[in-house]
Structure 1
Amino acid sequence: MEREEHGPAVATVHEVFKQYGSRTVLDRVSFRILPGEVFGLLGPNGAGKTTLLECLTGLRRPTAGSLDVLGHDPSTADSAWRQMVAVQPQEATLFPQLTVRETVQLWASFYEDHDDIDDVLDRVGLLEEGHQRVKALSGGQARRLLLAVTIIGRPRVLVLDEPAAGLDPQAKEHLWGVIRTHGAAGGTVLLTTHDMNEAAELCDRVAVLVAGRIAACDTPSRLVAELAHTSTVTFTASADADLTEISALPGVTTVESAADSEGRIAVQVRTTAGDQTLRRIAADQHLLAANLGISKGGLDAVFRSLAGDKPSHEGKSEQQKAEH
């Protein structure tokens, strides 16, 4: 869903700069997060995502620049503000002797207005495990319990740092359902993830952070249309097929092949001229290609393209685009 990007923002990050000694971690980062938006923050390890989340939630102060979340500077916000912004970190320690239900009840007691405990346990898929001790939970169940205590206070802004890491497919579906429900109810979600499928499925917009700078910020569909230039052409051919001429075709970057179960070879051709490459392979009378197919690059191709390049100082223009 695309949103009006010029209205009031839930969060505004403007020219945020963070330095530790001589090392720059965030370099003039700017973007806005809109009401009801699921906003994804993507980037390779070491890009500065965790530091940025810590600044947005008041755990760190930027060296320079400004942040506004729900009308307040996070680093000086009061307890009322902290009840409106909930954070699920990648890892946290809960009380091992409490049961699942007791844990959620404890967190609910911190809020004047909290959600129904059974409803929250059901949403995260732990209703039947309510009597279990925390110490007996599996890793995936413990992460779902972290999600439950994060959402019990009905936060306006939900900050999730790699929430799907280590989750099985069923648990991931519960997580995605919680995120969609929160957004549908008017809540805002800031999500970091390395799962490009997750980002494409859930996020209204994503920002790609590379070496402390915003390399791109837009809807997943627009980023794919603008930046995913590589397509993959697949086909099968006889085991003795000569693939040399394919490697020389305009736009072809790599050609990979492997023997299949029928004594032929399965070939993958990555190219920036997908349609042209497909036609040339189909027309090659010596190759006799079969099972031809083509897939366009997705958000993962965008990520690889941006994260694989050393960022230049032209990134400033992308940050300015992210603000508008």
Structure 2
Amino acid sequence: MEATGPAVSLDRVIKRYERNGRAFNAVDGVDLAIQPGGVFGLLGPNGAGKTTSMEMIAGLRVPTSGTVRVMGLDPTAYRAQLRQVLAIQPQHAALFEQQTVAELLRVWASFYPDAEDPDHLIAELGLTESRNVRTAKLSGGQRQRVLVATALISRPRVLVLDEPSTGLDPGARQELWTVIRARSGAGSAVLLSTHSMEEATALCDQVAIMHRGRVVASGAPADLIRKHAAERRLAFTVMHGTDLTVLRSHAEVSGLTENHDNGSVRVDLTTSDTDALLGLVTSRLSGRDIQIRDAGLEGVFLRLTGASFEAADEIPGKA
């Protein structure tokens, strides 16, 4: 079967669970269309529904309602055909602990008729010094890169990566981004989930921002920022007990969050006029450790949900 439209599509997809006798939707009416030859990011905190959505795309979970298609295939009805076109790197997976990296990838390559060269992947993912190390001895970042390699080795037309940058240092993360861009440039559809606003902005052609099971915004990162968060972010620290009423009622403040820690409060707000607020923050509130930056995708999230990413990440459980 061949897809004539998007590489991946979700149409009004719901995934419902019961916990402690109460039903809830981990994924709540999600619509997505992911095209070949691009990088699509699912962006959201823990509990947003990213992993559950990806597991349904990979055929690991069955939707409660709605339709999921991958290259025209129903992922749960056509599991054998799906394995020929899709590969997934999960957040956590068991590896053959006594095999070396090179041995593991050679075994993995033997499962596919047109596999990538394991040695090429080892070099591409910065694993050369680890090629003869048993997987049980790998660091968290090295293990993460091996998991990505096991997904890449089948030359998938749809590549699903769940938090692929977890545990990577900045250099390794840049190497991974280069690898991902190369796969999308060769025509594969790449779907990745991430907590990182920086990663989504730098790597993704399109993103869907998820919150409590729903897509609250989707589109190109630059377009979403222009539409929902053209303002700038002003962050600073004040003493505990400082009255912030003057900021909450200020006409140029569109969103404000507080994080309390050891007798001080870190204030993060969005504004269209940082110049008007700087004097207020420094003189009346005795603000310190002041930072000004573009609102970015985090500003989009704050504007559409009313919560910072950090606050939303405190949702119990994970979906």
TM score, norm. by length of structure 1: 0.78
User: Compared with structure 1, are the counterparts of its residues 297 and 124 closer, same or farther at alpha carbon in structure 2 (3 Å cutoff)?
Assistant: same
The 5 A counterparts of 1:112-191 are: 112-191=113-192
Where does 1:259-298 land on structure 2 (aligned, <5 Å)?
270-272=269-271, 274-275=272-273, 277-278=274-275, 295-298=293-296
Q: Aligned partners of 1:61 and 1:15: how far apart in 2?
A: 14
Which residue does the alignment assign to 1:16? 13
Say if 1:16 and 1:28, in contact at 8 Å, map to a contact too. yes
Q: 2: CA distance between counterparts of 1:70 and 1:87?
A: 15
Judging changes above 3 Å, is the alpha-carbon distance between structure 1 residues 246 and 148 closer, same or farther for their aligned structure 2 residues? closer
Aligned to 1:320: none
Work out the CA distance in 2 between the residues paired with 1:229 and 1:293.
17
- 8 A Cα contact 1:40 1:192, kept in partner: yes
Contact 1:232–1:294 under 8 Å retained in 2:
yes
CA shift in 2, pair 1:246/1:98, >3 Å = closer
Residue 44 of structure 2 corresponds to which residue in structure 1?
43
Q: 1:129 to 1:293 in 2, by over 3 A?
A: closer
**Corresponding residue to 2:298 among 294, 297, 300:** 300
Superposition deviation, residue 245 in structure 1: 7.0
For structure 2, the 5+ residue unaligned runs are 237-243, 259-265, 285-289, 308-319
User: In the TM superposition, what is the alpha-carbon distance from 1:211 to its structure 2 partner?
Assistant: 1.6
Q: CA deviation at 1:83?
A: 2.3
State the secondary structure of the residue aligned to 2:226.
helix
**2:38/2:190 contact within 8 Å kept:** yes
Q: Which deviates more, 35-44 or 22-31?
A: 22-31
Alignment of 1:42-121 (within 5 A): 42-121=43-122
Rounded Cα–Cα distance in structure 1 between residues aligned with 2:269 and 2:24 = 37
Question: Per-residue deviation at 1:164?
Answer: 0.8
1:113-144: per-residue Cα shift (whole Å, max 9, x none)? 01112111111111232111112211111111
State the 1:308 CA deviation: 3.9
Residue 153 (structure 1) shift: 1.0
Which residue matches 1:222? Answer: 223
Q: Take 2:163 and 2:43, find their aligned partners in 1: how far apart are those partners?
A: 10
User: Counterpart amino acid of 2:163?
Assistant: E
8 Å Cα contact 1:233/1:278 also seen in 2: no
Deviation at 1:268, TM superposition (A): 7.8
Mean Cα deviation higher: 155-164 or 20-29 = 20-29
Please provide the CA RMSD for this pair.
3.6
- Counterparts of 1:89 and 1:278, CA distance in 2: 45
User: In the aligned structure 1, how far is the partner of 2:247 from the partner of 2:211?
Assistant: 33
The 8 Å contact of residues 44 and 307 in structure 1, kept in 2 or not, is answered as no
Aligned-residue offset at 1:234: 7.8
One-letter code of the match for 1:10?
A
Structure with the greater alpha carbon radius of gyration: 1
For 1:135 and 1:72, the matched residues in 2 are separated by 36
Counterpart in 2 of 1:318? none
Structure 1 residue 177, shift from structure 2 partner: 1.3
Residues matched between the structures, number: 292
What are the superposed Cα offsets for residues 29-79 of structure 1, whole Å, 9 maximum, x if unpaired? 111000111111112211222211111111111111111101100011142
Task: Give the residue type in structure 1 aligned to 2:194.
Answer: T
Contact 1:209/1:215 (<8 A) preserved:
yes
Q: Distance in 2 between matches of 1:271 and 1:196?
A: 16
Residue of structure 1 equivalent to 2:30? 29
CA contact under 8 A between 2:95 and 2:135: conserved in structure 1?
yes
Cα distance in 2 for partners of 1:8, 1:254 equals 42
Secondary structure at the counterpart of residue 76 of structure 1: coil
CA distance in 1, matches of 2:65, 2:231: 38
- Assess if the C-alpha contact under 8 Å between 2:121 and 2:149 holds in 1: yes
Match in the other structure for 2:310? none
Equivalent residue for 1:315? none
Q: How far apart, in 2, do the equivalents of 1:192 and 1:117 lie?
A: 25
Indicate how the Cα distance of structure 1 residues 116 and 294 shifts in structure 2: closer, same or farther if over 3 A, else same.
Answer: same
**Is contact 2:70–2:82 with CA below 8 Å preserved after alignment?**
no
